[in-house]
Amino acid sequence: MHVQGILSHIKRQVILTPEEEQFFTSLLIPVKLKQGEFIEEAGEITTNFIHVNSGCLMTYYTDKDGNDHVVQFSTAGWWTADLHSLTHQLPSIYSTRALADSEVFLLSKIRLEELLERYPVFERFFRIMFQNSLVTHQNRIVQSLSFTAEERYENFQQKYPQLEQYVPLKYIASYLGMTPEFLSKIRRKRMDK
Amino acid sequence: MHVQGILSHIKRQVILTPEEEQFFTSLLIPVKLKQGEFIEEAGEITTNFIHVNSGCLMTYYTDKDGNDHVVQFSTAGWWTADLHSLTHQLPSIYSTRALADSEVFLLSKIRLEELLERYPVFERFFRIMFQNSLVTHQNRIVQSLSFTAEERYENFQQKYPQLEQYVPLKYIASYLGMTPEFLSKIRRKRMDK
DNA sequence: GTAATTTCTTAATCTAGTTTAAGTCATCAC
DNA sequence: GTGATGACTTAAACTAGATTAAGAAATTAC
């Protein structure tokens, strides 16, 4: 496996030995998926914890009316999975697809458990990662409770300036909890200023 | 320290030795706080990771207009803290107060770090806790993106049936991201059916 | 190179949820 | 016991943001 990428992301906190590196499977995901090719699909049981090495993934929830809602964008260095599905081996409620050609490293449920069992440093690594992720998620909840659509967009631009350049606006609107039409309105209003 | 409570909550996953138990400080928090008495206040640096043994705490965010937004209710067995403030020793953005007379166990930042350092089982314990919490938080984000106010309330009732009995409705409305007036409207509508 | 598909915008209409304001109960202090 | 304070409701007016529909601009497909 080619570990340059994952190393550059993990190394600061955890050092992977060649032995440990073998736990991961590398995979290239094109933006346009062919028949039978996919990452994770709602309804299926999640089998892998995914680490994004390059490109960008999007995790979304499809509601009862068939509308998609973007839960997360995952760029290089991020991890993604339906943790509930992965842990309890129940059908996932999220789907994941690529927004750009992406290289990911897959860590299967079994491999993950082995890794945690054999190398306690990974318990620490994931504890810190989940802890940080929790802060981010709490922040987003606060924003959805107390910010206007415009404030949420401003905040998004400041926090993820690079994302707007290649993620279709309609997905950003979805992530921010508004319609693409309304985001368009906000953008024009800010152009006029 | 009286550890009956914390033991009953933690024991299923982690066994505390008498030595480990000494890391916690017990504290009783009345609903009505007197001058100088408080749990955590926005603006202050968070010093403790709080474990609720009995009663109920509420963590909230005060926005720029002075309006409070409930981020979390913490009943027996839950943990709460502004993790960002605790980790980086920066001013907290959340305040915490009791909704009922409560007994909590405090774990200071230093004690927490010692605990994680000396007893690796706690890395695992908190990793699992944060992981589960992440699932809950992600769920709440999805709900704020795709559920109506009424659906959110229904879901809340099913998930936390006991909370509605003693948490003032205005805080539940805040937690659910709606005004108390609108929650009142929903409740009447459902009474009529 | 042009048809087809997708992305983004504009604008009119509409509605879920807010705001404001007032009134009814409880609870609590003294 | 009564005055004050907080909890909950009702209802009218209002608005942030959704919906619908249509067109413009950009990408992709062959």
User: For the domain that residue A88 is a member of, what is the CATH number?
Assistant: 2.60.120.10
With cut-offs at 50, 70 and 90, classify the pLDDT of residue A86: very high
**DSSP conformation class of A143:** H
Query: B107: number of CA atoms within 13 Å, CB side?
Result: 23
Closest partner residue to B142 among A71, A83, A87, by Cβ?
A: A71
- Check residue B37 and give its pLDDT: 52
Distance CA B77, CA B8 (A): 9
Dihedral over Cα of A27, A29, A33, A39: its sign: positive
What are all long-range contacts of A159-163, with beta carbons under 8 Å and residues at least 24 apart?
Answer: A160/A73, A162/A75, A163/A56, A163/A73, A163/A75
Q: Does residue B98 fall inside a structural domain?
A: yes
More confident residue, A28 or B125: B125
Q: Does residue A23 fall inside a structural domain?
A: yes
Dihedral over Cα of B32, B74, B147, B66: its sign: positive
The H-or-E segment that residue A53 falls in is strand A48-62
Tell how far CA A177 is from the center of its chain.
Answer: 17
A55 in Cβ contact with A76 (< 8 Å): yes
Domain count along chain A: 1
Q: Is the pLDDT of residue A160 over 60?
A: yes
Q: Is the pLDDT of residue A165 over 90?
A: no
Q: Does residue B139 fall inside a structural domain?
A: no
What is the pLDDT averaged over residues A88-106? Answer: 91
B73 token code pair: 């209710």
Q: Does residue B87 fall inside a structural domain?
A: yes
Protein-contacted bases of chain D (C-beta within 7 A): 6-12, 16-21, 29
More confident residue, A5 or B183: B183
Residue A180: helix, strand or coil by DSSP?
A: helix
How many Å does it take to go from CA A180 to C1' D20?
A: 13
- CA–C1' nearest nucleotide, residue A147: D16
Q: Is the pLDDT of residue A8 over 80?
A: no
Chain A, nearest residue to B138 by Cα: A137
Contacts A120 to B, Cβ<8 Å:
120, 123
- Check residue A33 and give its pLDDT: 58
- Check residue A7 and give its pLDDT: 47
Q: Does residue B106 fall inside a structural domain?
A: yes
Contacts B133 to A, Cβ<8 Å:
130, 134
- This complex has an ipTM of 0.89
Pairing label, strands B94-108, B48-62: antiparallel
- Check residue B84 and give its pLDDT: 97
Domain encompassing residue A102: 4-118
CB contact under 8 A, B144 and A61: no
Q: What are the beta bridge partners of residue A52?
A: A104
Q: Does residue B63 fall inside a structural domain?
A: yes
Protein-contacted bases of chain C (C-beta within 7 A): 6-12, 16-21, 29
- Check residue A193 and give its pLDDT: 58
- Check residue B127 and give its pLDDT: 94
Q: Does residue A75 fall inside a structural domain?
A: yes
Q: Is the pLDDT of residue A18 over 70?
A: no
A40 in Cβ contact with A95 (< 8 Å): yes
Q: Does residue A56 fall inside a structural domain?
A: yes
**Could you state, in chain order, the average pLDDT of each consecutive group of 10 residues for chain B (193 residues)?**
46 54 72 60 90 91 92 93 97 93 89 89 91 97 96 96 91 97 94 67
Q: What is the pLDDT of residues A166-189, one digit of tens each?
A: 899 999 999 999 999 999 999 999
Distance CA B60, CA B8 (A): 27
Distance CA A28, CA A116 (A): 25
Q: What are the beta bridge partners of residue B96?
A: B40, B59
Cα Dmax for chain A = 58
Selection from A37, A16, A42 nearest residue A27 by Cα: A37
Q: Is the pLDDT of residue A80 over 70?
A: yes
Distance CA B127, CA A105 (A): 21
Mind spelling out the 3-state secondary structure of chain B? CCCHHHHHHHCCCCCCCHHHHCCCEEEEECCCCCCCCCCECCCCECCEEEEEEEEEEEEEEECCCCCEEEEEEEECCCEECCHHHHHHCCECCEEEEEEEEEEEEEEEHHHHHHHHHHCCHHHHHHHHHHHHHHHHHHHHHHHHHHCCHHHHHHHHHHHCCCHHHCCCHHHHHHHHCCCHHHHHHHHHHHHHC
